[in-house]
Amino acid sequence: MKIVVLKGGSSSEREISLKSAEKIAQAYRRNGHDVIELDTVLPFSQIEEEIEVTSDHLENGSRNLVKLLQHKRIEDCDFVFNALHGGIGEDGRVQALLDMMQMHYNGSGYESSGISMDKIVSKLLFQQNQVPTPDWLHFNLEQNTSLQAIVEEVENKFDFPVIVKPSNEGSTVGLHLVQDSDSLEEAIQEALQYGHNILVEEFIEGRELTVGYLNDQPLPVLEIKPKHEIYDYKCKYTKGMSSYEVPARLEPALAKRIQELAIKAYQALKCKGYARIDLRLDSDLIPYFLEMNTLPGMTDTSLVPKAAQAAGIEFDELLEKIMQAGMKYE
């Protein structure tokens, strides 16, 4: 089959996207497919003349993505693997474009991608569907809310520590574990670098878990043991900064309960194909679901491949199953 791998982009997660795409392209080539890697960062005019002669890698500006997808070397592809992380690649815009162009692609559609990327909407849907999630406050700094007013409201509602994060970023970009009021304003200001909407969330002391999905079914629960207090960006993407246990050491009834709640969350957000949801398990063995990732990473430290392997599915087979799932959706 002819597969186009979308990669790179200009979001804060560009480097992770490039690493995921490299692994994805290698796997599909090993599986005998014709693969074109398509970066979305350089001006289209710089490489337009090279399109005809470049066999493996193409680069373009994101404003010209429609034009490039319509190129004769691209438009007849069988499948598009969207390996973009964050930004337009993950928030539903690329998915909507591929839908309009009637191209098959991996993962969830535009609606699910959009609501999953928005942590506020996700948490509201979790609540409506009886999926436990940490208590939170949402602030929009475009609404003339002062930093001092935010600090006071947070202090009135929560005990420290709390989590501060942008409401529309992934990979824990802009996320901070705040231990006291003196650090709160600085964390808010850093989160605001990624947009006007921020989330302040109660911190759940406990174990860091995640549940991956494949073909709309949960994979084994995986436990993450980061070197830092939380599974932050450095622990996610630096080898040796986290260890993993899959299946997680849980009583079978508890593992089943977590998977059942994970499915409720998956269905509430209208996901399909594959995804991953992160959660914390407190000392009373109550799981609190944090957020859904509709385009999980495929790097050396990524979690869905680890969970799939625990279920007997090696990386190259995992990629085939993701493609097969995407091919069946209209």
Long-range contacts of 250-255 (CB under 8 A, 24+ apart): 250/221, 254/285, 255/220, 255/221
Rounded Cα–Cα distance for residues 129 and 142 (Å): 30
Closest CA to 240 of 301, 316, 325: 301
Amino acid identity of residue 250, one-letter, is L
Average confidence score pLDDT of the chain: 87
> What percent of the chain has a predicted confidence (pLDDT) above 90?
62
The pLDDT of residue 303 is: 95
What is the H or E stretch that residue 36 is in?
strand 34-39
Q: Tens digit of pLDDT for each residue in 245-269?
A: 999 999 999 999 999 999 999 999 9
Model pLDDT, residue 9: 80
Is 5's pLDDT higher than 80? yes
pLDDT of res. 46: 45
- Taking the alpha carbons at both ends of the chain, their separation in whole angstroms is 18
The phi, psi pair for 256, rounded to 5°, reads -65, -40
Note the pLDDT of residue 305: 97
- Measured CA to CA, the distance from residue 256 to residue 250 in angstroms comes to 9
Between 294 and 238, where is the model more confident? 294
Whether residue 281 is predicted with pLDDT greater than 50 in this model: the reply is yes
Structure confidence at residue 141 (pLDDT)? 75
Can you list the domains of the chain with their CATH numbers?
2-105 (3.40.50.20), 115-132+205-328 (3.30.470.20), 136-202 (3.30.1490.20)
Please identify every residue annotated as catalytic: 13, 171, 237, 276, 278, 291, 293, 297
Question: So what's the pLDDT on residue 113?
Answer: 96
* pLDDT tens-digit map of 173-222: 778 999 998 899 889 888 888 878 899 999 999 999 999 999 999 999 99
67-116 tens-digit pLDDT: 777 777 777 899 999 999 888 889 999 999 999 999 999 999 999 999 99
* DSSP-assigned letter for residue 64: G
Confidence of residue 4 (pLDDT cuts 50, 70, 90): very high
CB 20 within 8 A of CB 302: yes
The model's pLDDT over 139-180, given as tens digits with 9 standing for 90+, comes to 887 765 678 888 899 999 999 999 999 887 655 677 899 999
